[in-house]
Structure 1
């Protein structure tokens, strides 16, 4: 029997929006993991419990879903006029890699709260009671996020009466502003990488689909639900248990990634599971959410279902909500048309767990669409804090 030991690393387990992740301060990581590379990736995979052929994450902190297989690193910001740098890693469940290609909008909420909890925000900027404006530099996509975090007695207020569909219990509301989210840091930087609001997307083995491909919040490929045989009212069990359906969605996602210039060959998509997202939209309809709550057509402007890491999301990814709000604000996109068309500054959409409202300020500049800001409300809460342990030979 070997005498291998475990090391322990200060960590905080947090819920942010409808996601959960393990949060670290950069300075608390082992030296080899304080820089990007294999050691950091191995650490995050071992913390989460990946790769796991059983898809259960029994031997780690993950929850075997895209919403719970996440790690975050925060540090004092290297950027002027920002408080913290926020780096996000999406850990694959069944493959040995960490995807650094995008942001998590839900955990952006927790990043603002954790920055205060972890002592990374100048105490002079934290009110005794009121709202602390945390200026976050999202290092994955080189963008600014502003988190308006409620503070009581100098500490983050976590409890409250704000209800978020997809989260069981109410909590305190945190308002997020995604500044200039109309590109994701990719080469080109255009909000519509193809130059079109709607494209004819050729998908091998499926045919040609109308698609809106947008880079706002996170690169996303939108298609019409009816074009792929759905209503837009589907829940997770309607899709995630069907391998053929999931394979078709992956074909659409790969075709979109190629058309958007995010990858050069279909094989590259295997190492880029986090982006782009694939989503389908439909006009409003009555449906029953996964909680059993009845959602009426009159409560929403449109229906949206989105996949993350190859599975239908139980609610909606925060970054994808930014893409939805932005696309809805641009007349003529599939999202805008599903919502009834015309100009709008906000949209309420139905997702598998309920509804969500997101606002966006879009305008045309020199013939190209851009968005200056997208806004939505989420909540965050510390679930556990202390140390996470991993075998010493992990890194």
Structure 2
């Protein structure tokens, strides 16, 4: 006798250039309200993973790293915060959820969900204007501030803010990542702005390793044989290139101290990210839009979960802003080598501006804040059904 499906309240939301299933912690079955096997099994089934066909036909996932995401929110357990935000990156073809990092894009939707679902004290919510939501990012133990537009007591989702990588305009949500160095250690884990990364049977590469927003490995496009203007098909249809990137990422993770054995990289797919940079140059985006070099400071391409991202991960954008603000990093050099508080970079879908405040104290760089604008929109709300195991 087969058991009936569980019905769990859920909201399907686009945040930035990602989308995912948002859940209130208290709506989950009791066994899934704590980390562990029960929680992972439910969320895997919600998304439709593992799927050997790579389609997520039997789940809410979209079979890409940008759309295979889950979020659990709860009233904050931290002083002076409104909501605790936990992000799970769901593998597509493996029974695995990576809890090691944040999703910057979905962060843009956290404040709106928290307000709409009563997780923010009503006294802090304005009827018209901007409500400030103080988010505790539980994966990396950092504070994020979301500035959520309100109209007549409700979150305003519609507007004229355009975000490259998102088809339709929406309301602008400004997001501040405070002290964004990743919780796992120093912002520059090797102590250097640029290192030489030796990758057996692949080669040697200059690299900037940074923990800001999310642990990220920055490489020069030219050393990899690329122009820095590549689109998804240029990378994702090349299995040898993807294997090369994954090998570099694994040895970079080892160098950053994120893993102690190279094999551990297989079970830590979400972090670190790997990206390559190049000086500003003209290129054509995936939608056919022409980007001229005078409109950007540099070009960046980044991989997520083993594939070139169609735009840019929000957390990687924080890393880009942080690295660009510090003279001597590969990102800063690609942007012209000047100290700057903001950069506009080109990605496969268009451009994005990100700002960062960096200070040097006792010869140690610290980024106090990174800022960018995204948008978010509820796509569907109700209950998600999950077969009981």
When the two structures are superposed, what TM-score results if normalisation uses the length of structure 1? Answer: 0.98
4+ residue segments displaced more than 2 Å: none
Partner of 1:98: 97
Q: Deviations over 1:215-265 (max 9, x none)?
A: 000000000000000000000011101110000000110111000000011
Partner of 2:130: 131
Shift of 1:277: 0.2
Shift of 1:207: 1.1
User: Which whole-Å CA distance do the structure 2 matches of 1:112 and 1:286 have between them?
Assistant: 36
State how 1:159-198 maps to structure 2 within 5 Å.
Answer: 159-182=158-181, 184-186=182-184, 189-198=185-194
Partner of 2:220: 224
RMSD of the alignment, in Å? Answer: 0.6
Partner of 1:244: 240
User: Which whole-Å CA distance do the structure 2 matches of 1:190 and 1:128 have between them?
Assistant: 41
SS in structure 1 at match of 2:92 = coil
SS in structure 2 at match of 1:11 = strand
Shift of 1:331: 0.2
Shift of 1:119: 1.1
Provide structure 2 residue ranges, at least 5 long, that are not aligned to the other structure: none
Q: Deviations over 1:44-98 (max 9, x none)?
A: 1000000110000000000000000000000000000000000000000111110
State how 1:21-100 maps to structure 2 within 5 Å.
Answer: 21-100=20-99
Partner of 2:347: 351
Shift of 1:205: 1.2
SS in structure 2 at match of 1:244 = helix
SS in structure 2 at match of 1:337 = helix
Partner of 1:147: 146
Shift of 1:3: 2.9
Q: Report whether the alignment pairs 1:324 with 2:320.
A: yes
Partner of 2:274: 278
SS in structure 2 at match of 1:392 = coil
User: Which whole-Å CA distance do the structure 1 matches of 2:66 and 2:209 have between them?
Assistant: 23
Partner of 1:113: 112
Partner of 2:329: 333
User: Which whole-Å CA distance do the structure 2 matches of 1:351 and 1:267 have between them?
Assistant: 30
Q: Deviations over 1:158-189 (max 9, x none)?
A: 0000000000000000000000002x111xx2
User: Which whole-Å CA distance do the structure 2 matches of 1:18 and 1:133 have between them?
Assistant: 22
User: Which whole-Å CA distance do the structure 2 matches of 1:174 and 1:3 have between them?
Assistant: 45
Q: Report whether the alignment pairs 1:214 with 2:202.
A: no
Number of residue pairs the alignment of both structures matches: 389
User: Which whole-Å CA distance do the structure 1 matches of 2:122 and 2:150 have between them?
Assistant: 12
Partner of 1:389: 385
User: Which whole-Å CA distance do the structure 1 matches of 2:90 and 2:151 have between them?
Assistant: 34
SS in structure 2 at match of 1:185 = coil
Shift of 1:329: 0.3
SS in structure 2 at match of 1:388 = strand
SS in structure 2 at match of 1:102 = coil
Provide structure 1 residue ranges, at least 5 long, that are not aligned to the other structure: none
Q: Deviations over 1:332-352 (max 9, x none)?
A: 100000000011000000000
User: Which whole-Å CA distance do the structure 2 matches of 1:205 and 1:309 have between them?
Assistant: 22
User: Which whole-Å CA distance do the structure 2 matches of 1:3 and 1:262 have between them?
Assistant: 42
User: Which whole-Å CA distance do the structure 2 matches of 1:389 and 1:43 have between them?
Assistant: 10
User: Which whole-Å CA distance do the structure 2 matches of 1:92 and 1:366 have between them?
Assistant: 41
